[in-house]
Copies of this chain bind each other. A is one copy, B any other.
Amino acid sequence: MTCKSSSKKYAVGVDLGGTKICTAVIDSDGRVITETTIPTNAAEGPERVIGRIKGTIRHVIRQSGVYFDMIAGIGIGSPGPLNWKTGEVLSSPNLPGWDRIPLRKIIQQSFDLPTYLENDANAAAIGEHRYGAGSGVDNMVYITISTGIGGGIICGGRIYRGETGMAGEVGHMIVNPGGPECKCGNKGCLEAFSSGTAIASRMRERLASKQYGEWRKDCLSAKDVFEAAEKGVEAARKVVQEAIYYLGVGVLNLTHLFNPRIIVIGGGVANGSPFVVESIRQFVREKAFRGVAEAVDIVPAGLGALAGVIGAATLPFVREDENR
């Protein structure tokens, strides 16, 4: 067990996802002391999932060797929509059965520690802003490209949540109304072109109409499509090209709207293929107004795959600062 000073300089983060729960203890410099990932088993419903969250929090605290009274609090990043003020998860397509679950209160009572709930993309943005690629920057946009596409906006050094905490819905920016149907009901959302789910399903559509032998499989992932594109499979190349093109359009729009110092791109799809970020960067450099193009850096998430959980763990530190 490491010897630690007596000030409350540690925090617990929980990145609650539809498929896995990642939990970590970090220190106030953003260093991960210990981290663990378990499956969500979301189909089992909220009660069981919450039980697993409590178990994994207990586990990481024990594992970290940090004394309980040195922990500033617990931060939870969760898929939305949620109410960050009341700490309720309102509902989520990825968490079946969740309906106005007072997750913050449940965890707070269970551990008797200040607990904070935030939209997962906002939590990751807060983490990247405090400890990652956007450290010290005033104006930043964070985008996560994974199963879906989400975003978090930092304006003047603080997270911008909007009127009801739902700002930054980058994935549902319509980039071509003639585009594919999105699960939100609209057509041509960025998410419908460029999320991991969209990349896989658009590849399946192409395969369904032609004979591709070994590529004709149902459990195709975005990763498979990227690999196939690299190997030169034409259908995969087209799907990847289109996905990246619309990411370029989306990020260009964000650049013109927010004129940010930095745009940070995280999530499985971006982390898995460095040329995604590079292609977006080139597109924006070519198409944006000079004054905004010169001001912005477009970079991969500095905290990599841990952006979500480090962001969640950052919440107790940041929210304390906000209330000062």
Are B160's CB and A295's CB within 8 A? no
Known: A164-B292, A169-B257, A176-B178. 6 other contacts (CB 8 A): A139-B162, A162-B259, A164-B294, A165-B259, A166-B256, A166-B295
Given A253-B253, A291-B81, is A260 in contact with B174 using a C-beta cutoff of 8 Å? no
**For the complex, is A261 an interface residue (Cβ under 8 Å from B)?**
yes
Complex CA–CA separation, A186 to B287 (angstroms): 7
Q: How large is the interface on A (under 10, 10 to 19, 20 to 34, 35 or more residues)?
A: 35 or more
Which residues in window 253-288 of A have CB below 8 A to B? 253-254, 256-261, 287
Q: Assembly of this chain: how many copies?
A: 2
Instruction: Report B-chain residues with C-beta under 8 Å of the C-beta of A212.
Output: none
Neighbouring B residues of A252 by C-beta, 8 Å = 174, 186
In this assembly, does A200 line the interface, its C-beta being within 8 Å of a C-beta of chain B?
no
Residue-wise, chain A 152-165 has the 8 Å CB interface mask toward B (1 for contact) of 01011010111111
**Alpha-carbon distance A166/B153, docked complex (angstroms):** 16
In the complex, whether A173 has a CB less than 8 A from a CB of chain B is yes
Select which of B153, B169, B253, B289 is within 8 A of A174 by beta carbon: B253
Q: Which of B81, B164, B168, B259 contacts A257 (CB 8 A)?
A: B168
For window 165-186 of A, CB contacts with B under 8 Å fall at 165-170, 172-178, 184-186
Least distance between A228 CB and chain B CB atoms (Å): 25
CB of A138 within 8 Å of the partner chain: yes
Q: Annotate A180-222 by CB proximity to B: 1 below 8 A, 0 otherwise.
A: 0000111000000000000000000000000000000000000
B163 and A295 contacting across the interface, CB-CB below 8 Å: yes
Report chain B residues within 8 Å CB of A256: 166, 169, 172-173
Is the CB of A303 closer than 8 A to any CB of chain B? no
Q: Which among A164, A176, A256 has the highest number of chain B CB atoms within 10 Å?
A: A256
A164 adjacent to B259 (CB under 8 Å)? yes
Q: Are A249 and B177 in contact (CB under 8 A)?
A: yes
Knowing A170-B257, A173-B256, A177-B249 are in contact, say whether A156-B164 is a contact too (CB < 8 A): no
> Contacts A174-B175, A176-B178: A257 and B163 contacting too (C-beta < 8 A)?
no
User: Are B139 and A169 within 8 A (Cβ)?
Assistant: no
